[in-house]
Amino acid sequence: MRIELEKRPQVSKLFGLLSPLLALALALIAGIIMFAVMGKDPVEALDAFFVEPLLEVWSLHELAIKAGPLILIAVGLCLCYRSNNWNIGAEGQFTMGAIAGSFIPIVFTDWHSPVILPLMLIAGAVGGALYAAIPALLKAHFNTNEILTSLMLVYIAQLFLDWLSRGPWRDPQGHNFPQSIDFPPEAVLPAIWEDSGRAHWGIVFAVVAAILAWFIMKYTLKGFEISVLGQSARAGRFAGFSSRKMVWFAFLVSGALSGLAGISEVSGSIGHLQPAISPGYGFTAIIVAFLARLNPLGAILSGLVLALTYLGGEAAQLSPGISAKAASVFQGLLLFFVLSCDTLIYYKIRVVWSRVRGGAA
């Protein structure tokens, strides 16, 4: 006996649209079981995760802060994945963007100018794009597996950041804490509504990027090229499109957006460089992209949902006393159910008995 996946001749449009909602519902059911097994009240835990963070204005600002990098990274990943290029290293590009953008206020400490912040944002995007160029080069010219190369580069970036924060970029007046100097006011991304909370312009960058990416995919030749090459490289070659150029385009755009998210996080939320600047935004953005069904506009909504799990995870540590790791487990469950639902929509499970009977005879 063996179990096979057989592609369905026709895919239900209704279930295709409902798949993310079904995955979310299944993840909630699994979460209830998980909290019950942990000995916690599931109702209280879910309330802490998904309701409490939405009741206060300041917590909505915090939600926007966490959603900004997730959406920005996920938009780039949507373009990348739709072109059939699998960038798993957004976390590393996020880190390298933060390092590249932080170079200006940390090294040129005596320079005070209004152009510092724009230069930091540009440097962050360029830093992320250059780091993404490494797996693009290896895939386009040496046919390496971009999943492995981009993933391994994440750990190099994190160790490089750790070395900088504890070594040459450590603040000599920082009481031996492993962090850089605090950025001067002209290097800090300003808050949008300072009177009510600390949400900064990173969320605006994310929404604008999502709209632009959606427009590109919907109305431009480049969007058509991404779709064609993503569905069939052979068909793309007949249409005159280059798979190699698409590899470069997809990785550079994705890396630039991840790098922009990195410098926005450091200059807007943290205010200095330190060994840990991300709770895993680059990896969680993969869930955001798939939950959005690789639609840049959908990434806005799914980014807010995943940001809610981060914020809810912090709240759940205070009231029901649930570990912060529970939020990561919940995110993993969500990705599992998203991919499972998609698989069952496109394929049906078939149990094959014939060869077993033949072998026995």
Q: How many angstroms separate the CA atoms of 3 and 344, rounded?
A: 13
Q: What is the pLDDT of residues 298-317, one digit of tens each?
A: 999 999 988 988 887 777 77
Helices 296-318 + 281-291 axis angle, to 10: 130
Whether residue 158 is predicted with pLDDT greater than 60 in this model: the reply is yes
Give the 3-state secondary structure of residue 91: helix
Indicate the average pLDDT of the chain.
88
Domains of the chain: 65-307 (1.10.3470)
* pLDDT tens-digit series, residues 125-152: 999 999 999 999 999 999 999 999 999 9
Contact 251, 87 (CB under 8 A): yes
Distances (CA, A) of 328 to 91, 309, 335: 15, 8, 11
* Terminal Cα distance for the chain, rounded: 14
- Lowest average pLDDT, out of 200-214, 288-302, 342-356, goes to 342-356
pLDDT digits (tens, 9 = 90+) for 50-86: 888 888 888 899 999 999 999 999 999 999 999 999 9
- Residue 360, pLDDT > 70, answer no
Q: What is the DSSP letter of 266?
A: I
pLDDT of residue 202 exceeding 80: yes
**Alpha carbons 237 and 146: distance in angstroms, whole number:** 21
In angstroms, rounded to a whole number, what is the distance separating the alpha carbons of residues 19 and 39?
A: 30
Q: How much is the pLDDT for 144? A: 92
CA angle 279, 282, 286 (to 5 degrees): 120
166-198 pLDDT per residue, tens? 999 998 888 888 899 999 999 999 998 888 888
- The answer to whether 105 touches 116, Cβ cutoff 8 Å, is yes
| Count of Cβ atoms closer than 10 Å to residue 143 Cβ | 8
Split at pLDDT 50, 70, 90, the class of 319 is: low
pTM: 0.88
pLDDT score recorded for residue 320: 66
Q: What pLDDT does residue 359 have?
A: 47
**pLDDT above 70 as % of the chain:** 97
In total, the chain counts a number of residues equal to 361
State percent of the chain over pLDDT 90.
55
